[in-house]
A and B are shown apart, each in its own frame.
Chain A
Amino acid sequence: MSKTDENETGLTDAALDDVFAAARATVPEPRAEVMARILADAEGEIDRRESVSANARPAHRFDILRAAIGGWPAMAGMATAAVTGLWIGVSAPDQLSVLSGGWIEGASANSEFELEELVPGYIALMALDEVAP
């Protein structure tokens, strides 16, 4: 005899189990219209995702490079450095000669340094060459 039988304040466990069984046997089925709405939601979700992925622009090589070096600010810095380097190389050998203390000379300047001065071991190297048979 269960506790609920003893104090008679509630349904017995067996009776309650009967009620549960009756409820389990009468499951409310979803209407076809509801099933259709749910399926339409699923189709719509797939369509939405496919639409988003189709609209996404494929990454260009330049975009990948730009992203790799840090975006447009880094690109501007690189462009400035490239132009400056080009300018130094093409148009300013005389000024470079001054800035470098004469180590780098322009085409119009006379050479003031011999190879032996720039490479101190050069004479010894030449001597070895002469000794060799």
Chain B
Amino acid sequence: MALDASSEVSDEALLVAFGNGDREAAMLLTARLTPRIMGFSARMLGGDRAEAEDVTQEAMLRLWKIAPDWRQGEAKVTTWLYRVTANLCTDRLRKKRGIALDTVPEPEDETPGAVEGMIEADRVRALETALSALPDRQREAVVLRHLEGLTNPEIAAAMEISVEAVESLTARGKRTLARQLAGQREELGYVEN
């Protein structure tokens, strides 16, 4: 498979090619899918990079193993991967839930100079912390919709629920995030005049 034609080949076609022993297809799929799955798993795991890398490798390994049985047209590779990754993340979070909740940092309301010093990295960190406190399904829906940029029907397929259920989960998730981040309004740079 020629590299210059790689952008025109769908993930599904590449996976079938890999299932037939095409090593170049493996390279293309790795380059194409790993960053997305890494980003998604990191956000699902509250920014834990090491855990996210492990989950990404495990999800991709499962993809390699299922490749010979993959049937084009039945599902999108990304949808399947998001589902597998979300399940892997949920399993890991459940195992360490008690510890994780104790280690979530509390907002420091009285930090001097925090208003001026707020940068985007702090917003990201605050969001990661707030996301970690969301129920699993709400977090998954919010991350897929607002950070991964999937459409509601795509999220519905990945989560195996209805579009209406996706809308409900994202709406509730956003409301909860808004309330949680309200305590850090000043640090986030949203000072009311």
Contact = CB atoms under 8 A, between A and B. Distances in A.
A38 interface: yes
Interface string B52-64: 1100110011001
Q: Name the prevailing secondary structure of the B interface residues.
A: helix
Interface in A34-85: 34-35, 37-39, 41-43, 45-46, 49-50
Interface stretch (B36-44, B89-97, B106-114): B36-44
Contacts, number: 117
Counting chain A CB atoms within 10 Å of each CB, the highest count among B128, B174, B178 belongs to B178
Interface stretch (B2-10, B20-28, B76-84): B20-28
Interface of B: 18, 21, 23, 26-27, 29-31, 34-35, 38-39, 42-43, 47, 49, 52-53, 56-57, 60-61, 64-65, 67-68, 120-121, 123-124, 126-128, 146-147, 149, 174-175, 177-182, 185, 188, 190
Lowest 10 CB-CB distances: which A-B pairs, in order? A10-B178, A42-B26, A30-B38, A45-B64, A22-B120, A10-B179, A27-B39, A22-B123, A11-B178, A28-B42
Interface of A: 4, 8-13, 15-16, 18-20, 22-31, 34-35, 37-39, 41-43, 45-46, 49-50
